[in-house]
């Protein structure tokens, strides 16, 4: 095939900076205090390792990617909720929409939406993750995964303590549903690492999030040349991204999807800042945990 024809058929891609983790030189576990640290302790030991990375646009090829094969999926998912910054509507109407959508899409026996965050600029409340009237959270421009092998089942125990033992005996997952609000997501899109290109033992590093009353965990990610990165340029508000944060199944399907926002070098000057909402859900199936 001539080079010019091959180039015309190749997927569109950009080269942009993704902020990986630079693990501490002493081999210690990276941490961050959510509030003020004790005297003499640094607020965080998490350091970034910026890497210029090829990120492929999957526009027009969304059907080739799935939650179980790649750790993420793009859905056509219009919402009937006109204002996705309205806290009461998010907790009632939008929650019902999301839970029904994921039950149907994933064949789940039960879905529980337990958290949401709005990102962008301006005041908003964000489902208990922000104080009402506080500034919106900015996009997270660091490669990460929201849960670890230990913190994901602990989330079930925290949220559903009386049912946890029975629920954790079956397959469960944590799945985020992410969509832009108002306008397509041109500014600060999400980069998604194909789960098939990530080696958990090699690439994932546990971070500790230290709260006044507990210690949580997330994964940061070491750079590796094998990683394959994708994004969906201009995702519309009537579409959504599903992002797998954890899957208890160990049968070869994707167990998580490392991700992070990035500065797209093709974003036109004057593009409005992206505003988005992500909701986090527990997803349960009747199958056993090793299913």
Lowest-confidence pick of 58-62, 133-137, 178-182: 133-137
Residue 177 near residue 114 (C-beta atoms within 8 A): no
Q: What is the pLDDT of residue 125?
A: 35
Domain that holds residue 14: 3-288
- What is the reported pTM? 0.90
Proportion of the chain above pLDDT 70, given as a percent: 90
Total number of domains constituting the chain: 1
> What 3 state SS string does 177-212 have?
EEEECCCCECCCCEEEECHHHCCHHHHEEEEEEECC
- Would you state the structure tokens that stand for residue 123, as one six-digit string? 């005041």
Sheet holding 13-22, edge to edge: 13-22, 47-57, 229-231, 190-193, 259-261, 144-145, 215-221, 204-210, 31-33
Q: What is the pLDDT of residue 27?
A: 87
Name residues whose C-beta falls within 8 Å of residue 60's C-beta, 6 or more positions apart in sequence. none
Please tell me the distance from the alpha carbon of residue 138 to that of residue 177, in angstroms, as a whole number. Answer: 17
Residue 184 near residue 237 (C-beta atoms within 8 A): yes
Is the pLDDT confidence value at 85 over 90?
Answer: yes
Q: Which of 34, 37, 207, 274 is nearest to 130 (CA)?
A: 34
Residue 245 near residue 149 (C-beta atoms within 8 A): no
Please tell me the distance from the alpha carbon of residue 250 to that of residue 68, in angstroms, as a whole number. Answer: 11
Is the pLDDT confidence value at 138 over 90?
Answer: no
Is the pLDDT confidence value at 111 over 80?
Answer: yes
């Amino acid at each position: 095939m001539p080079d010019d024809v091959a180039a015309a058929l190749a997927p569109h891609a950009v080269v942009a900076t993704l902020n990986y983790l630079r693990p501490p030189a002493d081999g210690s576990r990276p941490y961050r205090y959510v509030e003020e640290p004790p005297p003499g302790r640094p607020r965080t030991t998490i350091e970034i390792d910026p890497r210029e990375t090829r990120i492929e646009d999957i526009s027009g090829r969304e059907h080739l990617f799935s939650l179980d094969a790649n750790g993420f999926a793009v859905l056509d998912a219009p919402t009937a909720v006109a204002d996705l910054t309205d806290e009461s509507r998010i907790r009632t109407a939008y929650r019902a929409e999301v839970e029904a959508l994921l039950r149907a899409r994933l064949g789940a026996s039960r879905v529980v939406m337990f958290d949401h965050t709005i990102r962008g600029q301006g005041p908003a409340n964000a489902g208990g993750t922000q104080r009402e009237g506080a500034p919106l959270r900015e996009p997270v421009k660091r490669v990460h995964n929201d849960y670890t092998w230990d913190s994901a089942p602990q989330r079930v125990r925290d949220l559903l303590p009386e049912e946890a033992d029975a629920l954790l005996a079956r397959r469960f997952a944590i799945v985020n549903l992410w969509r832009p609000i108002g306008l397509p997501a041109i500014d600060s899109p999400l980069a998604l690492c194909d789960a098939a290109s990530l080696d958990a033992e090699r690439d994932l590093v546990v971070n500790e999030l230290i709260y006044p009353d507990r210690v949580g965990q997330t994964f940061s990610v070491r750079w590796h040349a094998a990683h394959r990165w994708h994004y969906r340029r201009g995702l519309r508000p009537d579409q959504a991204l599903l992002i797998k944060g954890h899957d208890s199944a160990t049968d070869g399907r994707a167990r998580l999807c490392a991700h992070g926002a990035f500065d797209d070098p093709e974003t036109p000057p004057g593009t409005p800042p992206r505003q988005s909402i992500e909701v986090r859900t527990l997803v349960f199936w009747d199958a056993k945990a090793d299913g």
